[in-house]
A and B are shown apart, each in its own frame.
Chain A
Amino acid sequence: MSELLIKDGRVIDPANKIDTVSDVLIREGKIAEIGSVKASGEMKTIDAKDKYVVPGLIDLHVHFREPGDEGKETIASGSHAAVAGGFTSVACMPNTQPTIDNEATVEYVYRQAAEANLANVYATGAITKGRDGEELAEMGQMVRGGVVAFTDDGTGVQDSGVMLKAFQYASMFDKVIMQHCQDDAIAGNGCMNSGYQATVLGLPGMSPLAEELMIARDLLLVQQTKARYHVQHLSTKKAAQIIREAKQQGIAVTTEVSPHHLLLTEDCCVGYDTNYKMNPPLRRQEDVDAMRQAVADGTIDCLATDHAPHLSSEKELEFFNAPPGILGLECALGLYVKALIDTKTIDWPRMIAMMTHIPADILSIDKGTLAIGADADVTIIDPTSPWQVDVEKFYSKSRNCPFHGWDLTARATHTIVGGEIKFQLG
């Protein structure tokens, strides 16, 4: 009988409103006991004194690039990055080559994930075939294959008629529709926030309107259906306000925010460093402030990295031509602490909730809690030890991360998936 005992940690399990110093006993891959547990002879023990013991972290927005772009990341390397960052469950976006828009590709993802045997990797499926915004993908087939959500991430569904049908159709599966909110007619070829820096740098700008318009449209559409709607990587002040008001009206909408939209502004783009090229783009300080405010007041439900690996040779292109996106998994926890805890925006239990049971609820997966009998996905966090981000030490295959060299506190020391230690800080 395999047993693992985590001794003397501060156990934070927001789903069950637990926040107390205690022991956690894992038996046969499940949470067996929380309380004072006496270590017995055979039992493997982890000393978690002064550490936080929390449900395994969940990131519902990552790009593992497989199939198709295995040079950037694979499900195996991405899973390794996930557990190194304290994440036990991730949801992979379907913008691969080919697109994950049918049952076969969904099954491929789960097969690769099982082979990697590190984190729980969930597949999401495209809303439309080939993510081209025209025909609905085989959602029912993909649900059979195990997808947890639908999204055309990387692009938004432009046609309002198609989007309405997608909401209607998806509602029969009770799977969330996640939207990359970007009205292309407004966004144009924008490669950074339209504003002062884009004007000075002579780069085409992407107006905040592109994001806000699509959110406003989708909120009108989703009310006509019973679907659940999730706004990906929120980035503008007005977008946050639109969602805040929608929630007040009881509309079924959730949203997420990335570390970079909580910490960086368009001013970072001075110097044309492509590691600051994101989509949605980095906005202004008042947008960053608004993101933090939206986290504080619950407008933003969860935290998601939008982990987006790219080849160095691609990020070495001119700013306009380089692909958008950055690595997130391996430094996200420390970055959230810097953005949200150090600034007293929220407390640890709230932050853990936003990284565990709330994203689990959005995806309707049975994760994110330390309830007795639950899968033993557990992350142990050292909340105070300082460390420096070094991309060269990342498990990800890529290196595109603007946080390289940042001094952070808080990182995962142990990542336990299904009762097995998949990562231990060495």
Chain B
Amino acid sequence: MQELLDSKKINELLETMAEKIYNEFSSTDSVALVGIRSRGEILAQRLNQLLQNKGLSQLDSGVLDITLYRDDLDLKGADQPQVRSTEIEFDINEYHIILIDDVIWTGRTIRAALDALMDIGRPKVVRLAILVDKGFREFPIHPDYIGQEIDVSVDQKVRVYLNETDDKEQVVVE
């Protein structure tokens, strides 16, 4: 196990991402941060706080559970997924949605998330913010805001630990 990012670095990356997002949207846009369960949800909360500090106060936020949209539900031997609630309390039509997740790899999760979003409504724009990009994409999906691209081999696992759920804060490669 090797540490890729420590707590300080994670916060710096989030700050940079917040800055980029802030610069791209005007205060008249309806913007919402939607985190993908479960760590995307926490990152979305943090970005929300950072953006509010910058003065983007009209932010909505929500949580997306993509379990029912996964493409491996029918695979034998896959870990049994736990269904949890999607919590998006606002009407996403005409919204600028920023989808947030901790790690991107094959792109399959994001494909599922986009489908889940489309079943809820028709957003004006969907952007993707990712803390760590592991590469090895299998779908034509690319993040708009990337914290850091990392160089690992395909079979190495990248894990993100966050204080809110894990009692520690770091990104490691296993």
A–B contact at 8 Å CB threshold (below): no
Q: Could you list which residues of chain B lie within 8 angstroms of chain A, going by C-beta atoms?
A: none
